Amino acid sequence: MSEIEARGYAHSDALVSTAWVAEHLQDPGVRIIESNEDPLLYPSGHIPGAVEVDWVRDLNDPLRRDYLQREGFEALMSRIGATPQTKLVLYGDKNNWWSCYALWVFQLFGHKNVMVMDGGRLKWEKEGRPMVREVPAYAATKYGAPERDDSRIRAFRDDVMKHLDAKKPMVDVRSPEEFNGTRLHMEAYPNEGALRGGHIPGAANVPWARAIVPDNGTFKSAEALRAIYEGEKGLKPSDDVIAYCRIGERSSHTWFVLTYLLGYSKVRNYDGSWTEWGNLVGVPIEK
Amino acid sequence: MTAIPPIPTKLSEFLADFEALADRSERIEALIGISKRYRPVPADIASPPYSEANKVPACESQAYVWSLPDGSGNLTFHFAVLNPQGISAMALAVILEENVSGSPASAIAQIPSDIVYGIFGQELSMGKSMGLMAMVSMVRSAGERFASAALQRK
């Protein structure tokens, strides 16, 4: 049993270790993908053979607040030389926050064979593993993707309204200061891009990074995660859960944790999140 | 009517040169080169654990700023970036230290936060742009504070 399997996750195959990645650097069936918040990180050095997927340039619609459409996803997969059978391994900065975000977007197009490198860029670097600056070029592939399906794992504001009315569980993964609305009142500093501070009524506050072992960026064991989400907050694997943050990036990390590591069957990410809810006229807010 | 002083000359020249870099990869290479000149605040100014008073709010790279007046209306800045993966924050710290330190507080008080977009481009996440703009805001706030205090002494 591998060290990751020993942690008791519902779907331990959603994670690979840094050692596994090191052994598959030359594997043509594997494409390693770095996705970061900091745009300078990948060009400053990355895992040999890794390609970059940038959440702004590659995953978002340049005009509307939305994600890329089928044609864009097919072009992206073609650019990185992936087919529907390619095993996509994501890693990045911020304890894999952005790689989970990319994974969530990939799932809107149903690419099943995708996983996260446990510990992300931080662990790879701490272990002194090789980093290079050369950007690899792969032969373009022909990738046929289905239309984007938002219904399973994405929530919109009307879904949140219904969820709220039905008193179903929601997880606000922002910091306690954002959750209680005090951050909007810090004078002279940027705010959340929202006119109102606070949270959606009834939401439980579990900052996303609580799922991480701070020293090495790996995910906590299933037992430790259950203690947080179930022991402290009362969630159950059968719950219909909506997670949100500011724009849906941090909450995609929590979506990954609940869906893959704890095996929750219905978790959706509300990517409109607080930048939408905190600006909506007339919606209920708690502080 | 009092004329609004311009931003520090050196920063203005840097921004003009930098904004002329039209190619994204050229700009990124330049920023990576700049980030390599990053040195944390000297130990005689501050040593870890740093005071929360110097911490940049909203910056997830855990950036800190120190402002020191020289007695003649100018300010010197020092920075620390605790996140080793905070390359953009390190690059901005170097840019501010090299192009703002030693400038008059009144000019520093005019630096707009959105120089961040001129330096890093528009393709920043909200979190990243907030953190970097907060670094600039903290520098500008120091300029405003010292410039205002100087005016009151007159």
Q: Among candidates B37, B145, B23, which has minimal Cα distance to B91?
A: B37
**Interchain contact, B127 vs A249, CB within 8 Å:** yes
Proportion of chain B above pLDDT 70, given as a percent: 96
Catalytic residue among A245, A247, A258, A262: A245
Question: Who among A43, A57, A188 is closest to B32 (CB)?
Answer: A43
- Say how far apart CA B75 and CA B71 lie, in whole Å: 9
For Cα atoms B117, B120, B122, give the angle at the middle one, nearest 5 degrees: 50
CB A116 within 8 A of CB A256: yes
For Cα atoms A107, B131, B134, give the angle at the middle one, nearest 5 degrees: 155
Most A CBs within 10 Å: which of B56, B125, B140, as the mutation test of the A interface?
Answer: B125
Single-letter amino acid, residue A5: E
- Say how far apart CA A48 and CA B15 lie, in whole Å: 34
Q: Is the pLDDT of residue B4 over 70?
A: no
- Say how far apart CA A211 and CA A235 lie, in whole Å: 15
Minimal Cα–Cα distance from B2 to chain A, Å?
A: 23
What integer is the mean pLDDT of B104-133? 90
Helix H or strand E encompassing A183: none
- Say how far apart CA A100 and CA A269 lie, in whole Å: 12
CB B38 within 8 A of CB B135: no
Considering chain B, what is the average pLDDT of its residues? Answer: 91
Phi, psi of A52 (to 5 degrees): -105, 135
pLDDT at residue number B22: 78
CA atoms within 13 A on the CB side of A216: 13
* Rounded-to-10 torsion of CA A14, A19, A25, A30: -10
Single-letter amino acid, residue A84: P
Those residues of chain B whose CB sits closer than 8 Å to some CB in chain A are 25, 28-29, 31-32, 35, 57-58, 60-61, 84-88, 91, 113, 120-121, 123-130, 133-134, 137, 141
pLDDT at residue number B122: 82
pLDDT at residue number A189: 44
pLDDT at residue number A185: 43
Q: How distant, in Å, are the alpha carbons of A89, A150, A225 from that of A212? A: 19, 27, 9
Q: Using N-to-C axis directions, what is the helix angle for B87-99 and B9-19, rounded to 10°?
A: 130
- Say how far apart CA B151 and CA A21 lie, in whole Å: 61
Q: Is the pLDDT of residue B5 over 90?
A: no
Single-letter amino acid, residue A4: I
- Say how far apart CA A38 and CA A44 lie, in whole Å: 11
pLDDT at residue number A187: 44
In B, minimum Cα distance to A92 occurs at: B85
Question: Residue A132 has what DSSP assignment?
Answer: B
What is the mean pLDDT, run by run of 10 residues, along chain A of 287 residues?
96 98 97 95 97 94 95 98 97 95 97 96 96 97 97 98 98 93 56 82 97 95 98 98 94 98 98 95 96
Specify whether A245 is catalytic: yes
CB B77 within 8 A of CB B139: yes
> Hey, which bits of chain A come out as E strands?
15-16, 30-34, 51-52, 87-91, 114-117, 154-155, 170-172, 204-205, 240-244, 266-270
The distance of Cα A93 from the centroid of its chain, to the nearest Å, equals 12
In A, minimum Cα distance to B34 occurs at: A40
Lowest-confidence segment of B44-58, B105-119, B138-152 by average pLDDT: B138-152
